[in-house]
Amino acid sequence: MSDLARHRGTAAAAALIVLIALVPLYLEGFWLQTGLFVMAAIVGAIGLTLLVGRAGQLSLGHAFFVAVGAYGYCYLAGDPAAGAEGDPAGLGLTPFLAAIGAVALAGGAGALFSPIAGRVRGIYLGLASLGLVFLGQHILFNAAGVTGGFEGRDAAPFALFGFTFSNTDPDDFAVMGVPFGMLERLWYLELAVVVLACWFARNLVASRPGRALATVRDSETAAAVMGIDVRRYRALAFVISSMYAGLAGVLMALAFGRIVPESFGLLLSIDYLVMIVIGGAGLVAGAVAGAIFVAALPLLLSHYSDALPLLAEPGSGGLGAAELSRLLYGAAIIAVLLFAPGGIGRLFRRAVRPDPTALVGPAPVTSTSKPSEAKEESKA
Amino acid sequence: MNQFLELVLSGLALGSIYSLIALGLVVVFKATRVVNFAHGSILLLGVYVIGRLQADLGFWLACAIGIVAAGAAALVVEVVLIRRLRGGDLGALAILTLGVDIVLLTELTRRLGTDVLPIGAPWGANVVDILGFRLPESRVIAAIVSAILLVGFAVAFRLSDWGVAMRAAAEDGATAGLMGIRLSRVGAGAWFLAGALATAAGVFLVSFPSAGIDASVGLVALAAIPAWVLGGFDSPLGAVIGGLVIGVVSVLTAGYQDEIAFLGRGLGDVAPWVVMLLVLLVRPSGLFGTRELTRV
């Protein structure tokens, strides 16, 4: 990439961030809430796209690690005295430490899985990690002392340097005449986390470990011959992706305020996979686009269900907003795989300029890309 | 001891149902190298058709129609979608079937709503005594039918032209194609067979002691995935043994859940996955799977 192009890219990103930062000044609660969910989804999707697109490993267990992060935060930040009242107890750490601890917990869970994650590859890992989701659900429902069982548990509001990300403390906090409640405050917190997550992921992709991972994906043998420890790098990719998932879990817990086991089932894992495939596996920008589509679609459809003639009330047997959005994204994933196997993100890239990351590879979804495709990309 | 043996027998019967479902996954994987996530929803489609038709047409005719319908649906998926990505990336194909699963499952769930359709099988909720063990009649018949179907499959797989063609296609698709084996026909046949087998298994899966056909059946059928992975992806024998193991494990953990209550309730549902994870720790390619070798 030339310097000029790089500067232009940075400028565009900066402009976008400023634009998003202005949103709470103009839009109402529903949009902020949607935005918060989307931003949490973006962080998780970036983690999965690193694993799937860069390391060529498939995971259907992403929801498990999101749950570890979400419940980890709630447990670490929870009130230690709550146990006496029958509520799930906590350790009472400061929220900032609790968030870091939750991410570390998710990473640790990923590391525990590494004997499988390092040895089983591609789609087979996808099937193996499916087991984690069911195991996770079982634990969430049964370890009621920590998770609150099927009722779930509340998330302590986040706080940093005495500033609380909730409706109180400081009370009546306003910026430019707009009262800043929980949603507005969380908006900036999550935006900052998303920017950092994107930045870290892009750097990782271009770094030495990122290139090593791409080599493992494209040819395990070649990677081993070059002195790359295949198992270790696969396990590393899994741990990093788990930590991203854990961070997404923390953001989800903060945005929801209360978390329940159903939010972390197989559907969430599938959602994440759909996000990155639609956007284009391996592309950070693709993960962002996919997350926006998948996370915002059901919320938008149900918000506008009155105005949309097709939609029926939930439970009336007609086509509801939730069903329509699932049908739409099921169809979207089929269409993307048939007509734009590299994902929407790559389609767009090709139209704008030749792919500058050809070095780190095209690979549509997992480990083995067809040689002919690889050749095409390197020519471009 | 008596209770233990009864649970084992009951587990083997349930396991034979899982074997049939897992066998469909193996057949599809061998013939077309596709990990088929839509298998559960195709099963649900088959039993849904039976449940809707059996009141008017009688159980047996409805059964035949349902089995053919599910087979045809699987065939359509293969011909219209999978074939276009033939030989493509394993992950892309798997996610494609996941897309099919989402669409199919959403639509069927919407149609079922909160209903629980009866399957209307003649064995109903009967319980039979065999050697002093009390077992649901549906499970006994399931074991017998599964055994017949599995043996029939094994014979066809070894001896028939179709079986030889399929094994050749699985061994080396390109060479098989050059030798005059129609890969497209082998693939389509495999998908049809998988859909039909799944529905045959589904009929027993929703019979007594299950409540009937509801939206969760697709999820219950997922328990065949650990059976399949346990057996090792491409081994029909592995699918059968994996199915039996998973059946016994899940019935035993459910049957003794009072004794192992410290592990939490609903252990029967999660036990298959735990067993799968444990086996994968020791043998990453399953019990009977072909280990992938890399030649440089």
Q: Do A249 and A70 contact (CB within 8 A), yes or no?
A: yes
User: What residue ranges in B102-155 does DSSP mark as E strands?
Assistant: 127-130, 133-136
Residue B103: which of A132, A143, A327 has the nearest Cβ?
A: A327
Q: Given an 8 Å threshold on Cβ–Cβ distance, is A365 in contact with B89?
A: yes
Q: Which domain holds residue A246?
A: 29-379
Closest CA–CA distance from residue B100 to any residue of chain A (Å): 7
Residue A371, in any domain of the structure: yes
Closest CA–CA distance from residue A169 to any residue of chain B (Å): 40
Total number of domains constituting chain A:
1
Q: Which residues from A are below 8 Å from B107, CB to CB?
A: 323, 327
- If you average pLDDT over residues B135-149, what whole number do you get? 88
Q: Which residues from B are below 8 Å from A274, CB to CB?
A: 95, 98-99, 102
- Rounded CA-CA distance A8/A16 in Å is 12
Q: What are B156-166's pLDDT values in tens digits?
A: 888 888 888 88
Q: Given an 8 Å threshold on Cβ–Cβ distance, is A127 in contact with B265?
A: no
Residue A5, in any domain of the structure: no
User: Among B234, B211, B3, B228, which Cα is nearest to B119's?
Assistant: B211
What is the predicted ipTM? 0.85
The pTM of the full predicted model, rounded to 2 decimals, is 0.85
Residue A17, in any domain of the structure: no
- Nearest residue of chain A to residue B228 (CA atoms): A127
Closest CA–CA distance from residue A275 to any residue of chain B (Å): 11
Q: What are B214-236's pLDDT values in tens digits?
A: 878 877 778 888 999 888 888 88
Q: Say if A163 is an interface residue toward chain B (CB within 8 Å).
A: no
Q: What are A84-114's pLDDT values in tens digits?
A: 666 777 777 788 888 999 999 999 999 988 8
* 3-state SS assignment for residue A47: helix
- Nearest residue of chain A to residue B222 (CA atoms): A130
Residue A142, in any domain of the structure: yes
Residue A370, in any domain of the structure: yes
Q: Do B234 and B289 contact (CB within 8 A), yes or no?
A: yes
- Nearest residue of chain B to residue A372 (CA atoms): B88
Residue A154, in any domain of the structure: yes
A 336-355 residues inside an 8 A Cβ radius of B: 337-338, 341
Q: Say if A135 is an interface residue toward chain B (CB within 8 Å).
A: yes
Q: B38 falls in which pLDDT band (50, 70, 90)?
A: very high
Distances in whole angstroms, Cα of residue B282 to Cα of each of A13, A110, A128, A344, B233: 47, 18, 13, 39, 16
Whole-number pLDDT of residue B86: 74
Q: Given an 8 Å threshold on Cβ–Cβ distance, is B91 in contact with A52?
A: yes
Q: Amino acid identity, residue A291?
A: A
Please say if the pLDDT value at position A358 is more than 60.
no
User: Among B78, B65, B50, B62, which Cα is nearest to B194's?
Assistant: B78
Q: Which residues from A are below 8 Å from B110, CB to CB?
A: 317, 319-320, 323
Residue A14, in any domain of the structure: no
**For residues A337 and A309, which has the higher predicted lDDT (pLDDT)?**
A337
Q: Given an 8 Å threshold on Cβ–Cβ distance, is B277 in contact with A130?
A: no
Q: A363 falls in which pLDDT band (50, 70, 90)?
A: very low
Residue A20, in any domain of the structure: no
- Max Cα–Cα distance, chain B, nearest Å: 62
Q: Say if A34 is an interface residue toward chain B (CB within 8 Å).
A: no
